[in-house]
Amino acid sequence: MILGIESSCDDTSAAVLRGTQILANITHTQLIHEAYGGVVPELASRAHIEHIVPVVKRAIETAQVSLKDIDAIAFTQGPGLMGSLVVGTSFAKGLALALNKPLIGVHHMKAHILSHFITHEGMTAPSFPYLCLTVSGGHTQIVVVHDAMNMEIIGKTIDDAAGEAFDKAAKMLGLPYPGGPLIDHYGKTGNPMAFTFAEPNIPELNFSFSGLKTSILYFLQKEVAKDPDFVALNLNDLCASIQHRITEILLKKLKKAQLQTGITCIAVSGGVSVNSELRAKLQAWQATNPKLTIHVAHPSYCTDNAAMVAITGAFLFEAGITHDQQISANAKLPW
C-alpha cells in the first residue's frame, strides 16, 4: 500500500493505492490563479502549505486505512515549481520519518506516463514497449516506454508546451486560466475549419507552438481592429479552429513516431490528453489502423493527481528503489 503525494504546480493531491487499485485520490485545485492568467508560484506554495494536511487526511479517511498500514510514501520530487515541490517533499519526508516508512521520490513526467497502469473501469494497461505522447502545461514529449524503469524521449517541444498553447490562446480570447478546458468546451459547437492558423515546420519528432501563438495574436489584433466584438461573435469557431490546429500538430508527430518506431501500442498522458478533439482524432486513427491499440486514461488520472505518483512509487518500490532523508525537491529533476 502506497501513499502518493503530488504538489508540483497548482494541485495539492494525495492518493492511497493498494496493488494497482486506487482507494482514494483527493485533489485540491487552487482557483486563486484564475484571475492572474497563470500560476503565481508564491501563491501556489502558500496554498499547498494550507491544504496538504487536510488533503492527506481526507485521502487516508476515504481509503479507510490507517497511516500505519502504508508500506511506503511516494511524492513528486520534480520537475515543477520549486516552492510547490518543497511543500510536498518536506511533508513526505516528515511523515516518513515520523512513521518510520520508506520514502520514494518520483519524477512527475514519468508518473504521467505510468498513470495508465492504474486499475480503473474502461482503462486497460498498455504493454511494453509503448509510445507515449505526454502533453501537459509544462511539457510536450513523445516517449518510448521500454519498461517502467527505462523511458526514452524521442521528441519534445522546442518552445511552449501544448497545454501552454491552449492556455495562452485562451487568454488572448479573454478566458480565465486554465483556458484549455474552456477552449475544449466552446470548441464543441464551433467550426474547426472557420479560421486557419500557422502550421509549424519543425524537423524530426519535435514540436513548436510559439509561431501558432503569434499567428493567433496577429489575427485577433487585425480582426478586433475592424470589429471590437469579433471575439465574442466568433468564440466557438475560434476555439474549434485553435483546438483543431493544436491537435493536428500533436497527431502528425505522433503518427510519424509510430511509423518510425513501428510500435503499435500508443498512450496519451497529461492534462491535454483530456481534450475531446484529441481523443476523437486518436479514435479515428485507431479505426483506420486495426493494428494499433490506443490508451487514454480516465480524466482524473490525466490532469495532475497523486494516484499517478502512487503507481509510479509502486513500480520503484517493487524494483527496490527507495530514498533516504537526504532527498530534496528538484525543480529541474533530470529524466
Residues of this chain that interact with Zn ion (CB under 5 A) are 136, 304
Q: Which three cell numbers stand for residue 274?
A: 483530456
Is residue 115 a contact residue for ligand KG4 (CB under 6 A)? no
Nearest-approach distance from CB 170 to Zn ion, in angstroms: 18
Closest to ligand KG4 by CB, 70 or 242:
242
Is residue 117 a contact residue for ligand KG4 (CB under 6 A)? no
Q: Which three cell numbers stand for residue 28?
A: 485540491
Q: Which three cell numbers stand for residue 12?
A: 495539492
Is residue 303 a contact residue for ligand KG4 (CB under 6 A)? yes
CA 104 to each of CA 137, 149, 312, 318, 323: distance values in angstroms, whole numbers, following the listed order: 24, 14, 9, 11, 5
Is residue 167 a contact residue for ligand KG4 (CB under 6 A)? yes
Closest to Zn ion by CB, 84 or 258:
84
Q: How far apart are the first and last CA of the chain?
A: 26
Q: Which three cell numbers stand for residue 288?
A: 483506420
- Report how many residues bind ligand KG4 under the rule CB under 6 A: 19
Query: Which of 2, 3, 9, 133 lies at the binding interface for ligand KG4 (CB under 6 A)?
Result: 9
Closest to Zn ion by CB, 235 or 267:
267
β strands within the chain, DSSP E: 2-6, 11-18, 21-29, 72-78, 103-107, 130-135, 140-147, 150-156, 265-269, 293-296
Q: DSSP secondary structure string, 236-257?
A: HHHHHHHHHHHHHHHHHHHHHH
192 in Cβ contact with 183 (< 8 Å)? no
Is residue 163 a contact residue for ligand KG4 (CB under 6 A)? yes
Is residue 83 a contact residue for ligand KG4 (CB under 6 A)? no
4 binds, among Zn ion, ligand KG4, none (CB under 5 to 8 A by kind): none
Is residue 186 a contact residue for ligand KG4 (CB under 6 A)? no
Nearest-approach distance from CB 101 to ligand KG4, in angstroms: 26
Distance CA 140, CA 234 (A): 29
Is residue 178 a contact residue for ligand KG4 (CB under 6 A)? yes
Order the strands of the 265-269 sheet from edge to edge: 150-156, 140-147, 130-135, 265-269, 293-296
Residue 283 three-state SS: helix
Query: Which of 78, 137, 155, 313 lies at the binding interface for ligand KG4 (CB under 6 A)?
Result: 137
Closest to Zn ion by CB, 11 or 237:
11
Q: Which three cell numbers stand for residue 318?
A: 517493487
Closest to ligand KG4 by CB, 184 or 237:
184
10 binds, among Zn ion, ligand KG4, none (CB under 5 to 8 A by kind): none
Closest to ligand KG4 by CB, 258 or 275:
275
Is residue 6 a contact residue for ligand KG4 (CB under 6 A)? no
Residues that bind ligand KG4 (CB under 6 A): 9, 136-138, 163, 166-167, 178-181, 184, 270-272, 274-275, 303-304
